[in-house]
């Protein structure tokens, strides 16, 4: 299978490196001119990039994509599988950009998803299968103009598929690309609500805002932010989140147990021990409160979650409070930018039956 990765940021480049290592043909499509432009230009000049992979005892290699381009038409023509690894706030832009070139039979994966498949379906009138991930298979970052550092491997990576009937077909494709991708969620709503970012990112910044502003770039969120009292907020959020999941046929799952399932090979280890271990290995940052941890995960994640909760008649007051305070913190109405279920379905009034149908077919 040929893979086009849309988005040449940290996540896109790390996953490109792992695919190229497996001799899977890869095209890289850059759609922005805001970040990593020097890296992209250098990569085009030398036709590849260097990789340091800490998940393989510091293995080093030169990754050479088959195609590196800003041309959406040639990038989509190249692909059997399209992996969209931009921020979720770019989903509508990407859907519009690639819609004229998508063909029947392609698979479009949104990493992460936040139910963005429903946006792509509005613009793409082709027989396409969609896949959403709640997080990435690997973590890492671009270090300089020619160097990608792979830092962490999730032992288990769960995906969801739209339509649900195609789940095994799509899983068989991604399980051949990534060794950890042998697991599924019930539907794209479950993947969206299990996205850990919508919970820990806003909470981590909200309760550490003064520390971030005072530290001058020396803040380590996962090591510093999640003290015992802040963990209490996560547990309170969890109780409400699980009621939303149960309203759509999903099993309840504690955030820290879900993190352990993703991050740890040995599931007998205590979940909080796993979380602390992950925290100690996490990268520094953020250095500002004006960060995608708020500007993306609040409107795209919490906005979606609370809108679904309202339709289901479930209390989402913890998330509502986080949205209100986050908006005040950065002086921006994040609710006005929210990806609501009403927006996704194109209806002013949405029922639980509308949602159940949309996430099934």
- The confidence score (pLDDT) of residue 165 equals 98
Identify the band that residue 175 occupies on the pLDDT scale cut at 50, 70 and 90.
very high
157, pLDDT greater than 90 = yes
Check pLDDT > 80 for residue 299.
yes
Single pTM value for the model? 0.95
Bridge partners of residue 189, in order along the sequence: none
Give the model confidence (pLDDT) of 21-30 as tens digits: 999 999 999 9
Tell me the Cα Rg of the chain: 20
Task: Sort 131 into a burial class: Cβ within 10 Å, 0-12 / 13-18 / 19+.
Answer: buried
Determine which helix (DSSP H) or strand (DSSP E) holds 51, and give its type and residue range: strand 49-53
Per-residue pLDDT tens digits for 30-50: 998 777 788 999 999 999 999
Percent of the chain with pLDDT over 70: 100
Q: What is the pLDDT of residues 223-280, one digit of tens each?
A: 999 999 999 999 999 999 999 999 999 999 999 999 999 999 999 999 999 999 888 8
pLDDT band at 79 (very low <50, low <70, confident <90, very high): very high
Other C-beta atoms lying within 10 Å of the C-beta of residue 87: 18
Domains and CATH numbers, the chain: 3-192 (3.40.50.720), 196-358 (1.10.1040.10)
Q: What's the pLDDT at 99?
A: 98
What DSSP string describes 289-306? Answer: SSSHHHHTIIIIIIHHHH
Higher pLDDT, 246 or 145: 246
Of the candidates 253, 278, 121, 95, the residue with the CA atom closest to the CA atom of residue 185: 253
Question: Of 184, 212, 181, which Cα lies nearest the Cα of 329?
Answer: 212
Report the candidate in 303, 352, 342 with the shortest Cα–Cα distance to residue 324: 303
Whether residue 282 is predicted with pLDDT greater than 90 in this model: the reply is no
């Amino acid at each position: 299978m040929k893979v086009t990765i849309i988005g040449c940021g940290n996540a896109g480049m790390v996953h490109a490196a792992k695919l190229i290592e497996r001799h899977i043909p890869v095209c890289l499509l850059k759609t922005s001119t805001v970040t990593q432009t020097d890296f992209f230009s250098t990569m085009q000049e030398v036709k590849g990039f260097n990789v340091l992979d800490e998940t393989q005892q510091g293995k080093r290699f030169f990754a050479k994509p088959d195609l590196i381009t800003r041309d959406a038409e040639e990038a989509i023509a190249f692909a059997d599988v399209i992996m969209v690894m931009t921020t979720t706030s770019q989903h509508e832009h990407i859907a519009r950009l690639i819609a004229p070139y998508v063909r029947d039979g392609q698979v479009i994966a949104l990493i992460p998803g936040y139910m963005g498949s429903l946006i792509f379906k509005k613009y793409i009138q082709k027989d396409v299968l969609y896949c959403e991930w709640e997080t990435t298979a690997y973590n890492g970052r671009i270090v300089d103009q020619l160097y990608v550092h792979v830092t962490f491997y999730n032992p288990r990576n769960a995906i969801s598929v739209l339509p649900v009937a195609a789940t095994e077909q799509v899983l068989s494709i991604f399980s051949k690309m990534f060794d950890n991708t042998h697991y599924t969620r019930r539907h794209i709503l479950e993947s969206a609500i299990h996205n850990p970012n919508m919970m820990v990112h806003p909470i981590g910044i909200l309760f550490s805002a003064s520390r971030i502003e005072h530290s001058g770039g020396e803040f380590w969120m996962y090591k510093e932010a999640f003290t015992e009292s802040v963990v209490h907020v996560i547990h309170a959020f969890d109780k409400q989140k699980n009621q939303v999941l149960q309203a759509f046929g999903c099993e309840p799952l504690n955030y820290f147990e879900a993190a352990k399932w993703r991050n740890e090979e040995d599931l007998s280890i205590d979940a909080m021990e796993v979380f602390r271990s992950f925290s100690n290995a996490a990268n520094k940052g953020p250095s500002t409160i004006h960060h995608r941890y708020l500007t993306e995960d609040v409107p795209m994640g919490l906005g979606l979650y609370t809108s679904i909760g309202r339709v289901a008649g479930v209390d989402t007051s913890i998330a509502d409070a986080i949205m209100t305070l986050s908006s005040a913190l950065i002086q921006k109405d994040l609710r006005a930018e929210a990806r609501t279920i009403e927006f996704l379905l194109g209806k002013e009034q949405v029922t639980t039956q509308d949602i159940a149908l949309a996430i099934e077919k």
